Amino acid sequence: MSTEQSTTSNPTSNPIANPVANTTLPRETLQGDRLCMQCLHPLRGRAIERDAGTGLLYVRCGECATASALFEYPTATPWLNRAKSVIASTLAVTAIITMLALGGITGGFMAGASSEACDVAGGELSIAFRSSLDEQTKADLQIQSGNWTATNNQWLASPAGQDALANARFSVTTLVPFVLLTALGTAIATPFALFAGIALTRQGLLRRMVYAALPVALAAIVVWSLYSALGFRFPMNSWQQVAIDHYLAGYTALSTAWFLAFVAATSAAAPSIAAFIARTILPPRDRRLVAWLWEWRGKTVPRD
C-alpha cells in the first residue's frame, strides 16, 4: 500500500473527520459561494475548521476574522445588509416627496380658497350695486352692458358702497367656499403632515414643528410672489377685481396662518398618535416591531 493510500484511509489524517487532527496537515477549503455575515467578504477558498468544543465546522473571514458556521439555518442578514442603502435612499426620496406634496397641497388650497372667496364676494358687490340702482330707478345702458363707469366709482366711494364692502368680506355666502376649500385642503394634507411628524420623531419638539411647517412657509412665499407678479388681474375692471384688491391679501394671510398652525400642531402630535394606535392594535409582545416610536422619544415600550 502506498503512502498516499495510507493517508487517505486513515481518518485521523482528515481534520474534518477528526476534531483532534493535527492542524498542521492540509485542510479542506470552501468551494461554494458564501459571504461573511459581518462584512460580506467572499469566503470562497477559506480553510474549513472545526470547533474543538462543539465539533461544528466553520470558516473564518480573511478580512474581519469573523467565524461563519457552515451548517446553519438560512438567514436574511446578508440581504438586509445589502438593502440598507436602498432602504435609506427610498426613505429619503419618500420624505422629499412628502415635503413637496405637503407644500404643493397647502399652497394650492391657499390660492384656491382665497380666489374663490374673492369671486363670490365680487358677485355680492355686483348684486348690491345693482340693487341700489333699482331702488333709485337709475337704469343706465352702460351699466347694463357691464362696462365700468364713473357711477360704479361713485357708488363704491359712498357710504352704501363702503357698507357693502364691509358686509361682503365675511358674509356667509363668501365664507362657505373659503371654509370648504380650506377644510378639504386640511383633510388632504393631514396624512402628509402625520408622516412628516413621524419621520422627524428623533428631532426635538420645536425642530419637528419648524421642519414640518417649512414646506408650507415656502408654498406661502410662492403664492404671495405670484400675487405680486401677476396680480390676478381680470381682462377688464370688474367687481371681482375690486374684491381681489380689498380681500385677497386678508384671505390668503388667514389660510396661510391656518395651514402653518395645523401642520406644526399635527407634526408635533404625530409620534404620540402613532404610538397610541400601535399600543391599541398591537399586543405587548409585538410592540417591539415599532419600539422606535417610544425609544426615539426617550420612553420605554409599554408592557400593559
**194-251 pLDDT, tens digit each:** 999 988 888 888 999 999 999 999 999 998 888 777 666 554 457 888 888 888 889 9
> Average of pLDDT values for 142-169?
77
Q: Give the domain ranges of the chain.
A: 1-75, 87-295
What's the CA angle centered on 203, arms 188 and 291, to 5 degrees?
85
Q: Are 57 and 70 in contact (CB under 8 A)?
A: yes
Measured between alpha carbons, how far is 239 from 31 in angstroms, rounded to an integer? 85
Spatial contact of 98 and 192, defined as CB atoms under 8 Å apart? yes
Residue 47 phi/psi, 5-degree rounding, is -70, 140
- pLDDT one-digit tens code per residue, 246-288: 888 899 999 999 999 999 999 999 989 988 998 888 888 888 8
Q: Is residue 47 within 8 Å of 27, Cβ to Cβ?
A: yes
